[in-house]
Amino acid sequence: MTEYLQLLSYGPTGWGDEMLKGAGITLALALATLPLGLVLGFALALARRSASRTLRGLAEAFSTIFRALPELLTLFLVFFGGQLLLQAILRLFTDTSIQANGFVAGMIALGLVFAAYASEVFTAAFGAIPVGQWEGASALGLRRSHTMRLIIAPQLLRLALPGLANLWLVLLKDTSLVSAVALNDLLRMTSVAVGTTKQPFFFYLVACLLYLVMAVVSSFAINAIERWSERSERQRGAASPVEGRALA
C-alpha cells in the first residue's frame, strides 16, 4: 500500500501531480468544447427548420457526416488537414512554418461531433413545442427574435437538457482521444506513468476513478440545472394568468 501511495505522491518520485494536470487538461478541453458545440448545434437546428432548401440540405449533410465518421478519424482530419491548410495559406505571405496545436484541434474536432449530435437534440426539442405558441406570439405582435428568447428558448432548454447532459458525459469521455495527437491529457499521462513504472492496473484504475469523479460532479451540476429549469417553468406557469389579465 505504501508503494502505491508513493507512486501517487507529488514531486520527482511520484505521478500524482502529472495525473492531476492531465485531468485538468481533460476537463479544460471538455469545457472549451461545450460552448462551441452548443452554439453550432443550435445553429444547425435552426438551419434544419429554415424555409431554404439549401440551408436544410447543408445542415442535414453536416449532421450525417460527423455522426457517421469515427471521432478519432475526425480528430486526425482536423489535426493534420488543418495544419496543411494553414501552412498553405501562410505560404502565400511568408515562409514561416507552423505546428498544429493538439488542444485547439481536439476542441474543433470534438466540437464538430458534439454539434452534429446536439443538432438532433435541439431539432427534437423544437418539434415538441406546439406550433400554436409561435402563432400566438405572432398574433400578439411579438417579433420572431423576441418569441424565441422569451417563449421558445426556456422551453427548449428544459426539453433538450436530458439529451445535452448525455452528450456532455460522452464528450468528457471522448476527450481521451486527444492523447493520440500528443496532448498531455489524463489518458496520455496515465500511459506515460504505466510505461515508466510498469504498473498498468494501478494507474489505469486511478484514471478510471478520476473520470468517474468528473462524471459524478457533472451529474450533480446537471441535476441542479434541471431543478432550476423546472422551478423557472413553474414560476412562469404561475405568473401566466396575471400576464394574461394584463394583456386583456
How confident is the model over 158-208, as pLDDT tens digits? 899 999 999 999 999 999 999 999 899 999 999 999 998 899 999 999 999
> What is the model's pLDDT at position 236?
62
What the chain holds in terms of domains, given with CATH numbers, is 2-247 (1.10.3720.10)
HEC letters along 8-35: CCCCCCCCHHHHHHHHHHHHHHHHHHHH
> What is the model's pLDDT at position 182?
82
Segments of the chain scoring below 50 in pLDDT: 241-248
Q: Do residues 116 and 37 touch, judged by C-beta distance below 8 A?
A: no
Rg (CA), the chain: 23
How many C-beta neighbours within 10 Å does residue 149 have?
12
> What is the model's pLDDT at position 133?
83
| Separate counts of helices (H) and strands (E) for the chain | 11, 0
How many C-beta neighbours within 10 Å does residue 41 have?
26
Q: Which of 144, 77, 138, 141 is nearest to 105 (CA)?
A: 77
